[in-house]
Structure 1
Amino acid sequence: MRAVVYTEYGDPDVLGVGEVEEPHAGRGQVRVAVRAASVNPIDWKVVSGAMSGGGRPDGPTVPGSDAAGVVDEVGEGVTGVQVGDPVFGLGSGTAAERAVLRAWAPKPPDVSFETAAGLGVAGETAVRVLDLLGLAEGRTVVVDGASGGVGIATVQVAVSRGLQVIGTSSSANADFVRSLGALHTPYGEGLADRVHEIAPDGVDGAVDTAGRGSVRDLVALTGDPGRVVTIADFGAAELGVQVTSGGGGGAARLAEVGALVVQGRLQMPVEAVYPLEQVAEAYRRSREGHVRGKLVLSV
């Protein structure tokens, strides 16, 4: 099958399109004929070698963490889905004509495969971080990085749960963040003071989606490092902050995301769609930051 591949770590230029052996669904998995796969920060971090511990790729490797497509193979022990069903979900090596998913949910019928491809990592992460905070309805949460894929999903899931949301972004994205249902403030230096002006009684929880040094401000705002969750600042664990990078329970979280999309309570904008052959450009664009929503590869 055709797939994006790399044989060494480095900048996006190490990525190309080649032929590799197609994968097959194992127990508890499904395989999909991929229609679209999104580009996530974790993908280019892996390709860069930042997650390798100094090793080298074990042969030609296909990147990608989520996708949307049509089920064409169902693994042993899987129920509730059959060949021909359109789904979106989480896997590895998803930037390819076929990919195996470890967690999935039905594709909402009124969204494109390109949009659905952007729901996997962003949506599952949003539900996971808010579950970790466990805030009751009416509480206030800060989402730092509210205009990126995970931030957009987190704001909307939080609003659906009856939380008051303060979202940070660049000033250029202020109106967009407000359109998601959040109060807006710029990110960066002085964040704690700006949020305190909006919420003088403090906030009940905070989510760092960007890993750009906001964690100490977020701890100051909540008064408790245990009420701060980050997905990008792995050193924050030393402060007592909750650091999360995935785990079990993905299918249930994806089902919640899909239901919110069907209800019209969650939307995921796609900033740009690239063919597989332009994967390096898509990764470069993602690394630059300031993407509003998702970048997607069309397969």
Structure 2
Amino acid sequence: MSLAVQFSEYGDSDVLRVVDVEPPTAGPGQVRLAVRAAGVNPVDWKTMKGEMREQLSVRFPAGLGYDVAGVVDQVGPGVTGLKVGDEVLGMAPPSFGQFVVADPAALVAKPAALPWEMAGGLAGAGGAAWIGLELLAVAFREATTAGIQMHVGGSGPNLGRALRDLLPLIEQGRLRVPVSRTYPLREVAAALDDSSAGHVRGKIVLLPN
């Protein structure tokens, strides 16, 4: 058995439960991660409260979490490029648990020197921001070419590429993703309360193990 965060109704953090579940199994084209860190984002507590119900379809009992960093401990059929023991980071919802299955395309190798808590919060904070900057650059180029009216076409770069672009900057010390506080998995309610209160400088990260 393993631990995972679930909720069975919308509400404040008192609806959250840390429950025993069967570890998921990596299916075709998937890997399973032993989670070492999982970043908390505003979308998590907004989903819990029901504020995202028009954007996200939730089937109860539901999990939470997107950002993840962990160790590959199971590889599904058809997966190449990752093996058991690889340390990775990226996105793998629902990531608030001890084990999670992931799409390899949403993962990148974790640099050995990158602390787990920073790696676990990087995808949401760093990847999304980098994608946004690249989209802004696209818009600026189009505005320069076609006058001052700006338009961004296409879907933009994917998360994996954005993270691969970011990691060298972090390794060189040119970019930091500050971590405000870490919480053990069983204190997930306090972590989401902390995030929803605002005024947090840096990422909040859950450490499941």
Provide TM-score, normalisation by structure 2.
Answer: 0.84
Using CA pairs under 8 Å that are at least 6 residues apart, name the structure with larger relative contact order, 1 or 2. Answer: 2
CA deviation map 1:154-174 (0-9, x unaligned)? xxxxxxxxxxxxxxxxxxxxx
Q: Which residue of 1 aligns with 2:92?
A: 91
CA deviation map 1:228-254 (0-9, x unaligned)? xxxxxxxxxxxxxx7xxx987222112
Q: Which of 175, 192, 195 pairs up with 1:283? A: 192
**5 Å matches for 1:1-299?**
1-53=2-54, 57-102=58-103, 103-134=106-137, 226=150, 249-299=158-208
Maintained 8 Å contact 2:125/2:177: no
Letter in 1 for 2:67: D
Q: Distance in 1 between matches of 2:112 and 2:55?
A: 43
TM-superposed CA distance for 1:286, in Å, is: 0.6
SS in 1 for 2:92: strand
Maintained 8 Å contact 2:131/2:157: no
**Equivalent pairs: percent with the same residue?**
46
SS in 2 for 1:60: coil
1:72–1:128 CA distance, 2 compared to 1 (3 A): same
Q: Which is worse superposed, 262-271 or 282-291?
A: 262-271
Q: Distance in 1 between matches of 2:203 and 2:191?
A: 10
Letter in 1 for 2:113: D
Maintained 8 Å contact 1:37/1:64: yes
Q: Distance in 2 between matches of 1:265 and 1:12?
A: 36
TM-superposed CA distance for 1:97, in Å, is: 0.5
Letter in 1 for 2:191: A
CA deviation map 1:194-235 (0-9, x unaligned)? xxxxxxxxxx9xxxxxxxxxxxxxxxxxx75x47xxxxxxxx
TM-superposed CA distance for 1:259, in Å, is: 2.2
Q: How many residues are paired up?
A: 199
Q: Distance in 2 between matches of 1:29 and 1:259?
A: 26
Larger radius of gyration: 1
CA deviation map 1:29-50 (0-9, x unaligned)? 3211001111001111111111
**Structure 1 residues not aligned, in runs of 5+:** 140-203, 205-222, 228-241
1:54–1:93 CA distance, 2 compared to 1 (3 A): closer
SS in 1 for 2:132: helix
- The CA RMSD measured in Å over matched residues stands at 2.7
**Structure 2 residues not aligned, in runs of 5+:** none
SS in 2 for 1:92: coil
Provide TM-score, normalisation by structure 1.
Answer: 0.60
Q: Distance in 2 between matches of 1:250 and 1:73?
A: 22
Maintained 8 Å contact 1:270/1:295: yes
